[in-house]
Every structure is written in structure tokens, then in C-alpha cells.
Structure 1
Amino acid sequence: MSQSVSPQSVEELQHLVRTAAAAGSPIYTYRSGQSEGVMLDLSNLNQIFEIDAANLVAVVGPGVTLGILAARLAEQGLRFIPADTPFYQDKTMGRLFYEGCSNLSSLKYGSAKHFLMGSEIVLPDGELLTTGGKTVKNVTGYDFTRFFNAPYTDYGITVKFLLKLLPLPETRTGLAVAFNEVDEVLAFARDLKENGVVPAYLLWVDRNVQDFFQEPPQGQLVLLEFDGLQEESGEQCQNAAVLIQKHGGTIRERNEGRGQTASRWSALYRCADKYVLTDEYKMAFTRQAEFISLFYELAGRRGVKAGLFGQVAEGKLNLVFAGVQPEHAFIEELAAALIRAGGVLAGKYDRLTGKCRSGPLAELEQRAKAAFDPKQILNRPTLQEVK
């Protein structure tokens, strides 16, 4: 039987890894283990080692939750952009990067990976590897920081994250907008882009997902926030309001500062007893209408209670189910349709179900895994994954 272990320090973790390597016993992090080996709980590696306000850098452990980090940084007028929303507050830093979570503010600020400047990693033989650094010259050449911290890559266990920070914005304005149809949502998002109106984040929540949260459906709900300098943010909000009216939308709520609207939806990215988040689908902005229409057609035909939400301005959609058991056949059919439309899956569902990945990138990943972890110590793949 597998046992759960919660190391209190990096040194203790190194000892556990060395012991496992010597015995050929697997160690599992962020994933369910098999019947043997050790399940690692990294929640005690939750130190905030440093907040360097002068250089806009923080160093934290994998067990630090984004909510706690955001609060500590705010005391010094700083923020770590991927943590600067209500939606990831309970997620740990380790899971954020291991699961390849989208930066919800990427529309304005870019991908989460660009806010990771360096790391310390315990390798499968127990040795400690340092990558990156506080300055740009430390991250030139091969990008080992993002190589070892790419989604679902098991080449080592990251025990320190070196994070890029930004100052807190002068002001924030949050809007909750209701549209009648998905086409109106997509047309609004397209017009924002074309008119240079850039919210920090924009999330669409369909009627089904609203119902799963036992919220009275408000049509096609869009949550967005503008931040920055007072004058700039005010002008962006005014321009957005014009476009909302143009596409038949209604502003249901407006909050200055971090209001309650987004907080009510903070559990969107968390699984619960009656709510299962399976995967993120990525596609060209122009293919979303086609894909969303097909999704509802397939769900209706199969009688599946499923919904969509996501960052539609960037072509990122998340699939959720009402209930604890997702419909596997429906997911397979939907994934095939996504690939035909030129889209890609984030890969979370395949990892959770032990499905073997395919293609040239999967082959490269397997070769890198064999090079860094020849004994398959870290997150040992199932038989399905190695077929």
C-alpha cells in the first residue's frame, strides 16, 4: 500500500527521494499513486523565503497558496500576476505550474510561465538543481526553468520558485455583464481586441455552469476587470460600456476595487462534490463559435449535463460536469472534434485517466523522462501511459 509523507524541509525531501531511488520505489506528487510507493504532500514546504521589493522578486516554496502569497505581497504594494485574481486563491504554487494553469490575466499581462524566473529542483537521484536567477542574464541560453516546470513534466520536484512581481494597480474596476447569446459574447470580445480595450481578465460563464453553482442564470455571463492608472482604467471601462451596449449586453454589477462579483465565482477552477472540472481546450478565436455550437449539440444528443466557461478572448475553454463522474465517451467525441478544428487539449484529463499521449512531443517527453529519471521514480507511469 502507498503511504502519505509530508516532508518538513528540502533536506528531508532529498533524503526521501534518495531512499526511493535506491529501492526503486515510486514517489507521487500532484497525482494519485498506485498501490505501492510514497504519496508526497508538499503542503509543509510553504515558506515565503524572500520578498525583494527593490528587484520585484519573491522566492517561495511549492506549498504556498496563492491567496496567502497575494496577501503578503499586497502589504508591500506588490502582486504576482497569476495569483492576482480571486479564482486561484486556494491553489498552491506547485500545482499552479505542474498543472499548467492559465494566467487568468494573460490577456493583458501574458502567460504565467513568463512570471517564473528561476527554481530549485530535487532531481530523481536526490540532488538539487538551481535554474534561472533574478536578472535577465541568468536566464539566457537553454531555458531549464521552464523545461523542468512545464505542465505535467516529471523530471524533478520543484522546491523553490523565483517569481517576477509587479506593483499593485492604482485602481481596479470589475464588471458583470449579461448577454443573450454566445455569438454576442464572442462579437464583444472581438470588438474589445479591435478597439484596443484590454481588460486584465475576461471570463465567460455559460448558463449551465451558472446553474451548477445554483446561481440564477443571467444569460451568458461575462466577468471582466480593468486595472491600472485611474485615468487609463476609467477610459477603458467607458469604451467597454459602449461595446457592451452595441452587442446587446447589460451591465448587472460594477465594483470599484476588488468587489464581490468575482469572489462569488472563485470556485470556478476547483472541483467539488457536484462539480467536476476536466480539461482546458485551446483553439483559434475564430473557431470557438463552431466548437461551442457542436458542444451543445453533442451534450443534448447524449443527455449529458455539462457546461463551458473560460477565457474566450484567448480561445481557452474549460469543460465541466454536474456530478462526480464525467462522461468519458462524450469527452472523447468532443476532443476529436476539437482536434479536427485545429485545437489542442491541455492534457489534464488524459493525465488523470492514465491515457497514453501520442505524437512527436509525447515521444520527446518520454525520452527526456528516461534521461532524467531512468528508474521511473517520479510519478511512475501506468501501463496505459507507456503503451
Structure 2
Amino acid sequence: MSQTVSPQTIEELQHLLRTAHAGGSPLNVYRQGRHEGVTVDLAKLDAVMEIDAANLVATVGPGVKLGKLAAMLAEQKLRFIPADTPFYHDRTVGELFYQGCANLSSLKYGSTKHFLMGSEVVLPTGELLTTGGKTVKNVTGYDFTRFFNAPFTDFGITAKFLLKLLPLPETRRALAVVFPGVDALLAFARDLKDSRVVPAYQVWVDDVVQAIFQDAVAGQLALLEFDGLQEETAEQGQIATILIKKHGGTVREEMDGSGQTAARWSILYRPTDKYILTDEYKMAFTAQGEFIRAFYQTAERSGLKAGLFGQVSEGKLSIALDAALPPEGFLAEVAAAVGKAGGICAGKYDRLAGKKPAGVLAALEQRAKAAFDPREILNRPAAAEVK
């Protein structure tokens, strides 16, 4: 059983890395459950050091829960977009950036990486590196902030994040809608895109995933939220309601920004006893129907209870299995279906399995890893994991 340490200050984290570097001892960060090396738990680095409302920047530690941050910001009429939906409230800021910078509101507000203004990174030698700053003019030349905080890149441990903030919207309108089938759901999403209405988020949960986690409803569940000025939000909601009816959908629940509907499905974005792989598959919007049909056929052949969920408006899909681990060969067959539909796999599964990076940027990443962590102190892959 591996030992777990929980540094409470940046200085303690620096000392831990210096000691590990000197002895060549591996440290596991955001990789619980590994048997070799010491596991570093950053939960106690959970200070919200500053909320600078004038510059719209918050400075926080990696252990800050996004739900806590959202509540504190709301008191000042502010928000950090990725933390603004209840889906991610159980995730920490450090996990958010390390595990792929997920953001259900990216279609409207942009990707999470653009909400990171700066950071303080503890290198494997224990040195502290400062990147970026509170203003855009501090980010010139090479973008080291996003370089050191790219998903699954173990060049150091970020001990402080400078996050870009936005004002809270004037109003919000949340809908839970059921469609009779996948084709109807996709047709609705297509028409919504054509209408130029952009929801704050739009999440699909298929009937299989619903059955895995709770009693299934009779159809495909879509969770949407619109935000902005009151007049704008009302108009968007009216257009969406017309399109919902057009495609045979039924509004099961409607709320003014309470977030309860989304909170119910936050289970899809936190650890459970089921196998969940979020934001792994990316493809053109028009290719999703082909892939979804292939996925269900693969699951049926494999005898699996496996379903899909995700951001259909952006072609970002995820899977959930009624199992703790995926069976041998299943995900490889799913990946082949993604490729056939012209999409790509984000590589998250390979990262979680401990494999070394693959793809066009793999060589560059490996050279950077060798430069900053030549002794492979951080998340050293076991010999059996390297393929």
C-alpha cells in the first residue's frame, strides 16, 4: 500500500519534491490507487488567497473545490465559468486542469485554458516557477502558463492558479427535456445551432446511462441552461421550446437557474463504482449519428450495459459502463468506430492507464518531460504500463 502525504503549504510541497528528487523516489499526483511511490494529496492546499474583483481574477490553491469557489464568487456577483455549473462542484481546481480542462460551457464562453491567467508551479527539483499574471500583457512570448498546465503533462505541480472571472448573468433558465429517440435529439440540437441560440450548456444523457445510475425515463434526456440578460434569456428559451415541440420533446422540469437538475447528474463527473470516461471522443456534429449507432452495436455484441452522454452540440461524447473497468478490447473497438466516423480520441484513457503519450505532439512532450523531470519523479509509469 502506497504512503499518502498531504502538504499544507507551498513550502512543504517544495520540500517534498526536493527530497524525492534527491532520492529518485516517485511521487503520484492526481493518480490515486497506484502501488509504487508516495501519493501526494493536494486537498489541504485549498486556500482562496484573493478575489480581485477589480481585475476579475481569483488566486486559489489546487485543492479548492469548484463548488466552494463558485459560492464565494457568487457573493460578489462573480463566476469562474467552468465552476459555474453544478456538474463539476465536487472537482478541485487542480483536478480540473490536470484531467483535461473540461468545460460544459465552452461553446458559449470558450475553453477552460483561456480562463487561466497565471500559475505558480513547483518543479521536480523543488524550485518555484511563476508564469503569467493578472493581465494579458503579462502573457507574452511563449505561453508557459498553459504549457505547464496542459492535461496530464507532469512537468511540475501547480501550487497556485490565477483564474479569470466574469460577472454573474442577470438571469438563467434551466430545462430538463426528454426526446423520444437519439435522432430526434440530434435534430433538435442541429436546429438549435442553426437558430444561432447558444445555451450556457447542453448535455445529453442517454436512456442506458440513466438506467445505470437511477430509474430511466422513457427517452433521451437533454439538460440545457440559457443565461444572460433577462430579455435575451427569455427569447432563447422561447425558441428552444418551439424546437423541442417540433421534435417531439417534452419539458420535464424547468427552473430559473437553481441548478438542481444538473446537480442530479453531477455523478457523471465524479468518481463512482461505475466506469466513466468523460470527453474522450470528439467528432464533427454531423458524424455523431453514425458513431452512436456503431457504439450501441459494439456494446450489444460485447454483452455490456454501456451508454453515452456529453455535449452533442460540440461533438464531445463520453461513455459510462455498469462496471468498474472496461472489458478487454471494448474501448479499442469504440475507438475504431470514432476513427471511422472521422473523429478522434482525446487520449484520456491512455493517460489514465499510465501509457506514455502518443500522437503528433508526443515527441515534443517527451523532450519537455526529460528536460524538467529527467528522473521521472512525477507519475512515473510502471514497466507494465509503458506500451
What band does the TM-score fall into relative to the shorter chain?
over 0.9
Deviations 1:235-270 (A, max 9, x none): 000011111111121111111121422222121212
Deviation by residue 1:323-349 (Cα, 9 ceiling, x = unmatched): 212223111111122123332222222
Match of 2:382 in 1: 382
* Alpha-carbon separation, structure 1, partners of 2:174 and 2:33: 41
Supply the AA of the counterpart residue of 2:260. Q
The residue aligned with 2:277 is 278
SS of corresponding position for 1:376: coil
- Moved >6 Å (runs of 4+): none
Q: Which residue of 2 aligns with 1:202?
A: 202
- Structure 2 counterparts to residues 198-237 of structure 1, below 5 A: 198-237=198-237
* Residue in structure 1 matched with residue 140 of structure 2 by the alignment: 140
SS of the equivalent of 2:378 reads coil
Residue 372 (str. 1) matches residue 372 (str. 2): yes
Distance 1:271 1:18 in 2: 31
Cα shift readout 1:351-381 (whole Å, capped 9, x = no counterpart):
2223344332222211111111111111112
CA distance in 1, matches of 2:33, 2:148: 21
Per-residue CA distance 1:162-193 (angstroms, 9 max, x = gap): 00001111111000111111111111111111
For residues 328 and 66 of structure 2, the distance between their equivalents in structure 1, rounded to whole angstroms, comes to 31
> After superposition, what is the alpha-carbon deviation per residue over 1:275-298, rounded to whole angstroms, capped at 9, x for unaligned?
221242111111110000000011
Residue 185, structure 1, aligned to residue 185, structure 2? yes
**Cα RMSD for the two superposed structures:** 1.4
**Matching residue of 1:336:** 336
For residues 293 and 362 of structure 1, the distance between their equivalents in structure 2, rounded to whole angstroms, comes to 31
Deviates more, 1:332-341 or 1:140-149: 332-341
Q: Structure 1 residues 181 and 33 mapped into 2: Cα distance closer, same or farther (>3 Å)?
A: closer
Partner of 1:65: 65
SS of the equivalent of 1:212 reads: helix
Q: How far apart in 1 are the matches of 2:60 and 2:136?
A: 19
Q: Which deviates further from its counterpart, 308-317 or 262-271? A: 262-271
Alignment of 1:1-387 (within 5 A): 2-32=2-32, 34-273=34-273, 275-279=274-278, 280-384=280-384, 386-387=386-387
Contact 2:46 2:64 in 1 (8 A): yes
Q: 160-169 or 244-253, which moves further after superposition?
A: 244-253
Structure 1 272/34 Cα, relative in aligned 2: closer, same or farther at 3 Å?
closer
Per the alignment, do residues 14 and 356 of structure 1 end up closer, same or farther by CA in structure 2, a change over 3 Å counting?
closer
Provide the rounded CA distance (Å) in 1 between the counterparts of 2:309 and 2:177.
14
**Paired amino acid for 1:126:** G
Query: Helix, strand or coil: the match of 1:222?
Result: strand
Q: Does the 8 Å contact 1:355/1:384 carry over to 2?
A: no
Q: Aligned pairs, how many?
A: 386
Residue type at the aligned position of 1:165: L
* CA shift for structure 1 position 35: 4.0
Segment drifting more, 187-196 vs 359-368 = 359-368
Task: Determine the C-alpha separation between the residues in 2 that align with 1:325 and 1:237.
Answer: 40
Structure 1 residues 227 and 218: alpha-carbon distance in aligned structure 2, compared to 1, 3 A threshold = farther
SS for the counterpart of 2:119 is strand
8 Å CA contact 2:281, 2:346 repeated in 1: yes
Q: CA separation in 1, counterparts of 2:285 and 2:98?
A: 26
Question: Secondary structure at 2:361's aligned position in 1?
Answer: helix
Name the CA distance, whole Å, in 2 between partners of 1:139 and 1:385.
36
Secondary structure of 1:383's counterpart equals: coil
After superposition, the C-alpha distances for 1:34-83 in whole angstroms (9 at most, x for unaligned) are: 54421100000000000001111000000000000000001111000000
- Matched residues in 2 for 1:56 and 1:359: separation? 36
Q: For 1:105 and 1:257, how far apart are their aligned partners in 2?
A: 14
* Secondary structure class of the residue paired with 1:336: helix
Does the C-alpha gap of structure 1 residues 259 and 269 become closer, same or farther in structure 2, counting only changes over 3 Å? closer
Distance in 2, matches of 1:119 and 1:14, equals: 15
- Are the equivalent residues in 1 in contact too, given 2:308–2:320 (CA < 8 A)? yes
User: Equivalents in 2 of 1:375, 1:330: separation in Å?
Assistant: 34
Q: Is the 8 A contact 1:25 1:36 kept in 2?
A: no
Greater mean deviation of Cα atoms: 368-377 or 326-335: 326-335
C-alpha offsets along residues 90-141 of structure 1, whole Å, 9 cap, x if unaligned?
Answer: 1000000000142111121111111111100000110000111111111122
Contact 2:32 2:39 in 1 (8 A): yes
Flag structure 2 segments of 5+ consecutive residues without an equivalent: none
C-alpha contact 1:28 1:380 (8 A) present in aligned 2 = yes
1:65 aligned partner, one-letter code: K
> What code does the residue aligned with 1:58 have?
A
Tell me if the contact between 2:306 and 2:319 (Cα under 8 Å) persists in the aligned partners: yes
CA distance in 2, matches of 1:166, 1:249: 33
Structure 1: state its 5+ residue gaps: none
Q: Quote the offset at 1:384 in angstroms.
A: 4.5
- 1:206-247: CA deviations, max 9, x gaps? 000111121332401100000111000000000111111111
Q: Equivalents in 2 of 1:362, 1:337: separation in Å?
A: 23
Maintained 8 Å contact 2:208/2:216: no
Contact persistence 1:62–1:93 (CA under 8 A): yes
Provide the C-alpha distance between the structure 2 equivalents of 1:196 and 1:44, rounded to a whole number of angstroms.
Answer: 43
